[in-house]
Amino acid sequence: MTTHTAIAELRAVRRRRQVLVVAGMVLVVLVAGTGALLVGAAGLTPGQAIAGVLGLGDKGDVFIIQKLRLPRIEAAVVIGAAFGMAGALFQSTLRNPLASPDILGISGGASLGAVTGLLALGLSGVALSGLAFAGAGAVALAIWLLAWRKGLHSIRFVLVGVGFAYLCASLVAWAMARAEENEAAGVLIWTVGSVSDIRGDQLALVASGTLVLLVAVALVARTQGPLALGDDNARALGVHVDLARIGALLLAVALVALATSAAGPIAFVALVAPAIARRLVNDGGAALAASTATGAAMTLVADVVGQHALLGIAAPVGIVTGLVGAPYLLWLLATTEKRSR
């Protein structure tokens, strides 16, 4: 009986650690979010900010909080959460820590869709976002068709995706090279990503869509444990492997397409947030919840840093996530204890 309780205790310790990581990331979101509410061209006191959130007090303050600052914070959190979850799903379903929408070309598909819409069709707003969504979906489908051989083979999926990533990047660069100077700036935002202009109906759409998808992921998340043991082991444990994998990848693609259609391809979040989350949780699991929270925290912090030039760079969030995310990933990898395989 002593070992029985010991096993239960081990499980409780692991579980507490997961909760702790998620709680820590939520705390980061709260702190960074509060900071972002208070700081800006118009300085507000905490009292004015709270009144603004509640829709009370000075009309100007309410406008600044509700129309400018709060939507940007919400957008960063929602987009970051979507990228974090999508990355974790890709990586655990394909059993490859490099599998992320940037590297698989799915973000690239969204950029290509948006850039085409912008330059060739002169679209803007929701129509443009729709085309970005379609671009991401089209690349995912194309990878699918080329990678499917009587079942889905992870490494083939990743390699085909890398091919599409280069193809999309080349086409976007070509379009930019041909574009007029004044158009190129608008195109640029679709290659680095930004959360500064997502508000109103678009924000509501992205937020509710992301929420629905996250709930759907929670419903299928249980198959990730057996799937991580390999196809044969998962089948022997009673998982319908192809269905489970298709379902997980569809949800991940939908999350990326939705987030990218609104914010552009924010570099590195989907790749790095799950790596950080898994390292912090450190139980060998997919760390889906922790990755979601980490993605949200990472994106919000990067946006605050970029918006207020805290590191001396005023830049869209996608540039900051790349500048900060890459070194952090390298540091994590360098300090992870060496393990025998």
Nearest approach in angstroms of CB 235 to another protein is 5
Quick one: how far is CA 278 from the chain centroid?
Answer: 15
Please tell me the count of residues contacting another protein according to CB under 8 A: 33
Task: Copy the structure tokens of residue 152.
Answer: 């889905």
Report the C-alpha gap between 319 and 313 in whole angstroms. Answer: 9
233 to 252: interface string for another protein, x by CB under 8 A:
x-xxxxxx------------
Nearest approach in angstroms of CB 7 to another protein is 5
- Nearer to another protein by C-beta: 8 or 185? 8
Residue with tokens 């959360």: 195
- Nearer to another protein by C-beta: 102 or 231? 231
Q: Which of 192, 278, 316, 319 binds another protein (CB under 8 A)?
A: 278
CA quadruple 80, 244, 208, 185: dihedral, nearest 10 = 40
- Nearer to another protein by C-beta: 222 or 308? 222
Q: Go through 196-216 and write b for each residue having 16 or more CB atoms within 10 A of its CB, e for each that does not.
A: bebbeebbebbbebbeebbee
Task: Go through the chain and tell me how many residues it has.
Answer: 341
Nearest approach in angstroms of CB 202 to another protein is 33
Q: What is the 3-state composition of the chain as percent helix, strand, coil, each rounded to the nearest 5?
A: 80, 0, 20
- Nearer to another protein by C-beta: 66 or 96? 96
Q: Which of 182, 312, 335, 340 binds another protein (CB under 8 A)?
A: 340
- Nearer to another protein by C-beta: 203 or 244? 244
CA dist list (Å): 69 to 45, 286, 292: 14, 33, 22
Residue 152, strand partner residues: 148
Q: Decide if residue 56 touches another protein (CB under 8 A).
A: no
Residue 68, strand partner residues: none
Report the C-alpha gap between 141 and 92 in whole angstroms. Answer: 19
Q: Decide if residue 219 touches another protein (CB under 8 A).
A: yes
Q: Decide if residue 27 touches another protein (CB under 8 A).
A: no
Interaction site with another protein (CB under 8 A): 3-4, 6-8, 10-11, 14, 95, 150, 219, 222, 225-226, 228-230, 232-233, 235-240, 278, 282-285, 339-341
